[in-house]
Structure 1
Amino acid sequence: MHQVMAETTVNMYHNNTTVQQQHQEDAAAAHLAIVNDVAYRYLMPIFITAGILTNLLNVVMLGRMRHHQQQRQAQATTFCYLMWLALTDMLASIALVPALVHVDRTHLSYGWAFYYAHLELPTLNSLTSASVYIVVGLSVDRYIAVCHPRRYQDVSAPRLAVIRITLSLLVPALIYIPHSFYLEVVSGEGGVGWTYEGVEMATPGAWHAWEVVVELCHRMAPAILLVLLNCSIIYTFKKVTARRKNIVTKNDSVNNSSSNASKKSEEGGKSQQERRLIYLLVTIVATFLLTNLPATVLALIDTAGATHGSFSLEVYRAVANCLEVLSFSLNFVLYFIFVPGVRQGLQEAVKAVRVTLCGLVVNTVPSQSCFISENNTKNTDSTEV
């Protein structure tokens, strides 16, 4: 009799435990659905739209600046890097649009399942890696110009910049070719539709080692290079600034007051530009580390290729993905804040669009106000149209 009661008590305990576990799983699934909605239905579309629009503005402004101005070699090389960086970030933002078409990927058509299994990750990772390589190439160009100016003419010609940018686009595509084969299309739950899952690897240890090598080439090594290069640039800038101040101080006692005033104003302008450049370099490094290192950690800890993981892993995945997508539009924001030429180019583009729109209104609906607006801008903005 006691044995039967004990067995009944144990069964009731197991049933209660099972019910509690089911409630916890249901609550976690509900919370995960909220996280996915916020990350992939609200934040991600905003970041993608911002990435496309801001990089499109970058392309337009850089094209106008290259067309209307005569640049030195350094300016032409820098514009080449910035142009391709904007194009790559814009393509990466566009490539993210299919990723949001199906947030729930349990019951897909075969075409979508094939794309998500074999094409999505290689395409996105190749573009993001190319963007990282172009940023590194730009930092190398600035490092040579600042730290080794005598060699700049030989090792940073625009022709060599084109070669580096081409390799920046080609090497990531080759690196991520194997990732087209580590997922496979399978039948969906209950035999309805299609989904995908990780392929059983004959040597999972070797594949994990390859993942580490890929992440080392994609984000780790570029992050280290960016920190080292930009720290060297900042250190060299500070040395040059201190040397220039000493020269100005020694010449103050020799030159007259008028020449001293002009030189001081010139030196003040140079020091302001240098401080602005230092702030830009520090911010570029900080934003790169903030937006790319979480994705690196995710790639290293999530090697199974599963469509869904634990709740904490999926929350971390959403945060890492949002940060990486946000980085596509941050370049424009940084250049807008720290580079006056970008702000001036944006102002000129806005003026040109405003005058063009006013001209369309004048041609369609003649009114006194539109004629006044066009007359007010005709003297200053006619060359922009």
Structure 2
Amino acid sequence: MDANATLDANAADSVGNQELQVLQDVVYRYVMPVLIITGVLTNVINILTLWKINQPQKHQQNRQAQTTTYRYLFWLAIADMLASLSLVPAIVFLEREELPYGWAFYYAHFETPLMNGLTSASVYIVVGLSVDRYIAVCHPRRYVEISAPRLAAIRIACSFLVPVVLYLPQGFFMEVVCAASGAGWTYQSNQTNESAKEYYELIVELCHRIFPAIILAVLNGCIIYTFHNTTERRNQMRSKPLVTMQPSSASKGSEDQDQSRRHQEKRLVYLLVAIVVSFLATTLPAAVLALIDIDGATYGSFGHEVFRALANCLEAFGLSLNFVLYFVFVNSVREVLKNAVCGLAAHAKVDRGCSQSSTSNSKNTECVEL
């Protein structure tokens, strides 16, 4: 997220274009608040649902892969919610020439590292989830050895700690100064070693978005390729005639189980493709913007500012998109939300058919988990 996304009054005057002020009002006064509210609400629902899912697992013999996956999703929802909340101060003051000292100090030293650190943590958790799924699918015999829940907890902790190390220096790039009018405070670059700062910004951007995008694409591509090969081998084995005859009921049950497994595998492939596409679509424009403004935010042509607004809105939208993806493609997560809704309906003495439908569908969620 570009922390200098908003245009102040002087910047708008310097480019001499009234359209920039209109763009600022539309994007940062109307569109961005809607995206922030959506991101917070969807991730709160995600957190509550995943917390509910994890409760029965303490008493059931569920598979380790399922438990680890839900742990990643739970902390991903927390990171996305905090990242959405960190955008609120960014739109409190769109004009930053005459600020109270407290707000000027926050914008100078905390806004950029906080926003970028939280969005980076979200990215790293997605990468950690992809690493976990890659090992489970492509190297299943080593999964317990190198992807135990304890190691997943370490990866998640590093997903929050590494961005702190990456973005802590950004808190010292600005300094609070008195406003030109003398009526308040503002902030500006402290102009210390600009060349080293540009190299630092480039390295950080590579670690934040570019390298994770490459890793995510490669890992999920390997997972999809492995699933394709597995499906082909299974189809070849299924096409061979059976030497021994099975009872009709057992044959029908095995066929239904295979069909359910194929359905779950197809949904997983769709989810992995959706993760890669959504990540690239919502993240790479912000990466391009950061590389363009590597020497500091520049306010130039109207097209440049449109691209800046689009990149920031896409990244804010991406914070709530994970909710949509996982609730669309992961049956177990969706079933918990459905059961919660049916539970509320039961208190209102609504027809119990919803509960029965939920019970019958839950039998098919054990085949292939995320």
TM range (shorter): 0.7 to 0.9
Cα RMSD over matched residues? 2.4
Q: What is residue 17 of structure 2 aligned with on the other side? A: 29
Please tell me the residue identity of whatever aligns with 2:43. Answer: N
Seen in structure 2, the aligned counterparts of structure 1 residues 25 and 323 have a Cα distance that, compared at 3 Å, is: same
Q: Secondary structure at the match of 1:176?
A: helix
Please tell me the residue identity of whatever aligns with 2:214. Answer: I
1:340-380 deviation digits (Å, cap 9, x = unpaired): 22221221222334455x4xxxxxxxxxxxxxx36x55995
**TM-score normalized by the length of structure 2:** 0.86
Seen in structure 2, the aligned counterparts of structure 1 residues 379 and 341 have a Cα distance that, compared at 3 Å, is: closer
Q: Does 1:205 align with 2:195?
A: yes
Q: Distance in 2 between matches of 1:251 and 1:201?
A: 75
Q: Distance in 1 between matches of 2:189 and 2:49?
A: 44
1:301 shift after superposition: 1.4
Q: Does 1:86 align with 2:68?
A: no
Q: Aligned match of 2:166 in 167, 175, 181?
A: 175
1:183 shift after superposition: 1.7
Seen in structure 2, the aligned counterparts of structure 1 residues 123 and 379 have a Cα distance that, compared at 3 Å, is: closer
Contact 2:113 / 2:168 at 8 angstroms: preserved in 1?
Answer: yes
Q: Secondary structure at the match of 2:17?
A: helix
Within-5 A mapping of 1:259-298: 259-298=250-289
Contact 2:49 / 2:333 at 8 angstroms: preserved in 1?
Answer: yes
Seen in structure 2, the aligned counterparts of structure 1 residues 155 and 87 have a Cα distance that, compared at 3 Å, is: same
1:233 shift after superposition: 0.1
Q: Distance in 2 between matches of 1:306 and 1:274?
A: 45
Please tell me the residue identity of whatever aligns with 2:184. Answer: G
Relative contact order higher in (CA < 8 Å, ≥ 6 apart): 2
Q: Distance in 1 between matches of 2:163 and 2:15?
A: 40
Q: Distance in 1 between matches of 2:271 and 2:82?
A: 24
Seen in structure 2, the aligned counterparts of structure 1 residues 148 and 201 have a Cα distance that, compared at 3 Å, is: same
Q: Distance in 1 between matches of 2:337 and 2:121?
A: 26
Alignment identity in percent? 52
Q: Distance in 1 between matches of 2:305 and 2:119?
A: 21
Q: Distance in 1 between matches of 2:89 and 2:13?
A: 29
Point out 4+ residue stretches in structure 1 off by more than 6 angstroms. 24-27
1:39-59 deviation digits (Å, cap 9, x = unpaired): 111111111111111111111
Structure 2 residue ranges without an equivalent (≥5) = 1-11, 357-370
Contact 1:197 / 1:306 at 8 angstroms: preserved in 2?
Answer: no
Q: Distance in 2 between matches of 1:263 and 1:89?
A: 41
Q: Does 1:318 align with 2:291?
A: no
Q: Secondary structure at the match of 1:195?
A: strand
1:2-28 deviation digits (Å, cap 9, x = unpaired): xxxxxxxxxxxxxxxxxxxxxx97995
Structure 1 residue ranges without an equivalent (≥5) = 1-23, 359-372
Contact 2:198 / 2:295 at 8 angstroms: preserved in 1?
Answer: no
**TM-score normalized by the length of structure 1:** 0.83
Contact 1:196 / 1:307 at 8 angstroms: preserved in 2?
Answer: no
1:144 shift after superposition: 0.2
Larger radius of gyration: 1
Q: What is residue 47 of structure 1 aligned with on the other side? A: 35
Q: Distance in 2 between matches of 1:41 and 1:306?
A: 20
Q: What is residue 60 of structure 1 aligned with on the other side? A: 48
1:180 shift after superposition: 0.6
Please tell me the residue identity of whatever aligns with 2:229. Answer: K
Higher percent of residues as helix: 1
Q: Aligned match of 1:305 in 288, 296, 312?
A: 296
